[in-house]
Amino acid sequence: MTHPAQRLDDTVHQRVRLGVLAVLAEVRRADFAYLRDALELTDGNLSRHIAVLEQAGLVEVEKGFEGRRSRTWVQATADGRRALKAEMQALRELISRVDAGH
């Protein structure tokens, strides 16, 4: 039987990206500033990881305006939701194996 850690995918599992996908599961669509503040990240760090997620087809980024303020909206794609679900399943199994070992 394979260990659930083998099913963790770096694209989704990486700390910042997992945080972004988790927040997007809670709020559906978030603007850049909301994600930055919710996860206490710098602009640069968040931008870099959103670019990785976008490149992998896991999030969609949309730029727009709210009044005169420019906003960057981020939301998970269907693939992103599926990838997060697979990650949650692998983590659940990993946690229950760790719990059983104690």
Give the separation between CA 4 and CA 97, rounded to whole angstroms. Answer: 9
Residue 38, interface with a copy of itself (CB under 8 A)? yes
Residue 33, interface with a copy of itself (CB under 8 A)? no
Pattern 12-31, binding to a copy of itself, x per CB under 8 A? -x-xx-xx--xx-xxx----
Give the separation between CA 96 and CA 66, rounded to whole angstroms. Answer: 45
Name the one range near a copy of itself by CB under 8 A: 35-43, 52-60, 67-75.
Answer: 35-43
Residue 97, interface with a copy of itself (CB under 8 A)? yes
Query: Which of 1, 63 has the CB closer to a copy of itself?
Result: 1
Measured between alpha carbons, how far is residue 58 from residues 21, 51, 101 in Å? 9, 10, 34
Give the separation between CA 41 and CA 81, rounded to whole angstroms. Answer: 22
Give the separation between CA 34 and CA 77, rounded to whole angstroms. Answer: 18
Q: Footprint of a copy of itself on this chain (CB under 8 A)?
A: 2-6, 8, 10, 13, 15-16, 18-19, 22-23, 25-27, 38-40, 84, 88, 91-92, 94-95, 97-102
